[in-house]
Amino acid sequence: MTNPEFSIEFDILYNNISSNKAPGLNEYEKSVFLTKAQEQIVTELYSGRNTTYNSFEETEEQRRYLHSLITTSSLEESTDTDDIITSNSSIYKLPENIMFITYETAVLTDNKEVTVYPVSQDELSKIIKNPFRGPSNNRVLRLDLGNNSIEVISNHDITKYLIRYIRKPNPIILVDLEDELSINGVTEESECELDSSLHRTILDRAVALALQTMYSK
């Protein structure tokens, strides 16, 4: 679906459902709702909170929906050590556009590739010295710090930290934005990059969000 098609069909659905009683929306407002709907649907497809109850890797169909958003990145160790909890920790910055990590691995100084285990703050204090669950020759721990930063705890130096992740999709912006308006920092027209089979679902969700906002006022 092209941007003009999104815009026209948005108006048709919006006006039909509201019986032409809702105030009209401009292109910027429609773009905001389309972008929000797109991000909600990506989250639901990844997590399994959708009509099929299948999460990202469970079916070929689910993988096809999100394949254009899968990205691989080699993370650089941060020089900011203020948030480090233990002497064998390292801080890494995640990409700004990350939504969900789908795979991660660490390579140690002897070129050994080891599994990365995400842990919570509460878990870390309980398992960090546990020989079966704490960091070892075959395992490193990853702790989310917020602000797109993670702390990696390892008994050995890490030479490479790789992640594969689902990135945030580009916003759907129907026309170039003016008057200092932007969506997710973008001002230029941008079409939906997700699989075309999802476009109708995104449109329906966007209209529902717009009407929900209108009726809540």
| pLDDT tens digits for range 67-85 | 899 999 999 998 777 667 7
Q: What are the backbone angles phi and psi of residue 131, rounded to the nearest 5°?
A: -65, -20
Helix, strand or coil, per DSSP, at residue 199: helix
Residue 217 pLDDT: 64
Average pLDDT estimate for 23-35: 95
152 and 189 inside one domain: no
Average pLDDT estimate for 141-166: 92
* Nearby residues of 164 by Cβ (< 8 Å), 6 or more positions away: 70, 71, 72, 73, 101, 102, 103, 104
> Is pLDDT of 54 > 70?
no
Residue 78 pLDDT: 86
Domain containing 208 equals: 3-66+170-216
pTM across the whole model: 0.85
Residue 67 pLDDT: 87
For 82-92, write each residue's pLDDT tens digit.
667 777 889 99
How many domains are contained in the chain? 2
| Ordered strands of the 70-75 beta sheet | 70-75, 158-167, 98-108, 113-119, 139-146, 149-153, 89-93
Residue 94 pLDDT: 95
Gap between the Cα atoms of 207 and 13, Å rounded: 7
Which of 129, 148, 167 is the last residue in one of the domains? 167
In which residue are the tokens 């476009």 written? 199
163 and 175 inside one domain: no
The dihedral through the CA atoms of 55, 58, 63, 65 has a sign that is negative
Residue 102 identity (one-letter amino acid): T
187 and 131 inside one domain: no
H-helix or E-strand spanning residue 113: strand 113-119
Residue 182 pLDDT: 97
State percent of the chain over pLDDT 90: 64
* DSSP code for 155: S
75 and 107 inside one domain: yes
Residue 115 pLDDT: 92
95 and 134 inside one domain: yes
Span of 38-47, 49-58, 110-119 with lowest mean pLDDT: 49-58
Span of 16-25, 183-192, 199-208 with lowest mean pLDDT: 16-25
In which residue are the tokens 């990135």 written? 167
